[in-house]
A and B are shown apart, each in its own frame.
Chain A
């Protein structure tokens, strides 16, 4: 006897498929509902946590960083989520906006002397001085996060450059071209560059090096030093003040 042949079999299989589908969609719905429930309870927990530790989040840089890391790991951005939900809850959003403005202010204020290149540590130092002793303490991580916030302002804003274990804040009117970028990169090593250094590092001609250095000089990114002693190489050095000063401080320590 052959089983399930003909119209009856099709009907049966169809019915079975329908049942499977029904079960499947029920399962999916359950999972979604569960996930939503988890998410809701998680959000509640996070809120409770944030409220409970509000003071610490605002006052303790290490704790704040951990909190931000935790939020980042689970894809919640406490700074922009829920249309100011967090800022209402914590004032955290305001915290970074305010800090971002302070960082920008310092970048602008120091531009005449550094041409828009500022070491993160120096920036942090200056922000602390600007905020005064009574303000909650901040650390370099806070400054980086604040810069990410203001970076959304777009072109001509500020960016962060990480090179050779150093973090530098760039607030330049134009983007750097590739030649300029690698010169700045090399400058992180000693705080200054010269035609010879560029020739040794990249086999550049004097003309190519000078083209970059003259733009840097004109834009105020570098200070020229024409009193270089013979032991120091004898040729003009081009100094990036903020990079050089942070090196001097390290030498003193």
Chain B
């Protein structure tokens, strides 16, 4: 998918100062909340799951707007990611905070979607591998199909926390499994 097919959910993306992190608190808060929408919207459209704090990232959409001739600085990129993490739309993947997993759906939403699928398609009380959830034919028409292992795991952990599933660690990540429990009403 080409990035030029994407159109921003906010007109502010076309505004040059949108790419300068604003010094005034209230304005910056608004700006970052708009950026959160932009990033989630873009990543969802492009099926992009990670953002690196790198020049390469800052040079590409949605952080670079060729028409407005503006791009984010690395510092700006980092501030947006921090804001997303803070609001539950991302999680840092490394200690140094240079790579963020994007939750264009929050983990609880992924969890709910996965559980709904398991329950609707008769996969309760049996063990599935995470690999089959991500890549299997049974989930091809699901929004969570193709979700990276790391994010899938976070979603399933949310289900585990609700007592709706249990995760089994395999010898490699592809062999990790999960068992969905039917819920007593």
Contacts and interface: CB of A to CB of B under 8 A. Distances in A.
Interface of A: 112-113, 115, 217-218, 220, 223-229, 237, 239, 241, 244-245, 248-249
Contact of B22 (A224, A229, A244, A249): A224
A218 B23 CA distance: 8
A123 to B, nearest CB: 14
Main secondary structure of the interface of A (DSSP, over half): mixed
Contacts of A225: 16-17, 19-20, 70
A251 B131 CA distance: 49
The 5 A-B pairs with the shortest beta carbon distances in the complex, nearest first, are: A223-B17, A225-B17, A112-B30, A239-B17, A225-B16
Contact of B24 (A218, A227, A249): A218
B12 A227 contact: no
B143 interface: no
Nearest to B27: A220
A241 B12 contact: yes
B11 A113 contact: no
A229 B11 CA distance: 21
Contacts of A241: 12, 15, 17
Contact of A217 (B11, B23, B31, B71): B23
A217 to B, nearest CB: 6
Contact of B20 (A113, A224, A245): A224
B177 to A, nearest CB: 47
A248 B15 contact: yes
15 contacts: A112-B27, A113-B12, A113-B30, A113-B34, A217-B23, A217-B24, A223-B22, A223-B27, A226-B20, A227-B16, A227-B19, A227-B20, A227-B70, A248-B14, A249-B11
Contacts of A245: 11-12, 14-15
Contacts, number: 57
B74 to A, nearest CB: 13
B83 to A, nearest CB: 15
Interface in B26-81: 26-27, 29-31, 34, 69-71
B103 interface: no
B29 A112 contact: yes
A206 B155 CA distance: 54
B18 interface: yes
Contacts of B31: 113, 223
B16 A224 contact: no
B69 A229 contact: yes
A224 B70 CA distance: 13
A239 B19 CA distance: 12
Given A223-B18, A225-B70, 7 more contacts: A115-B27, A217-B23, A223-B31, A227-B20, A227-B70, A239-B15, A245-B14
Contacts of B17: 223-225, 237, 239, 241
A48 B134 CA distance: 71
A245 to B, nearest CB: 5
A245 B18 CA distance: 12
Contacts of B20: 223-227
B144 to A, nearest CB: 32
Q: Which of A113, A218, A244, A249 has the most CB of B within 10 A?
A: A113
A220 B15 contact: no
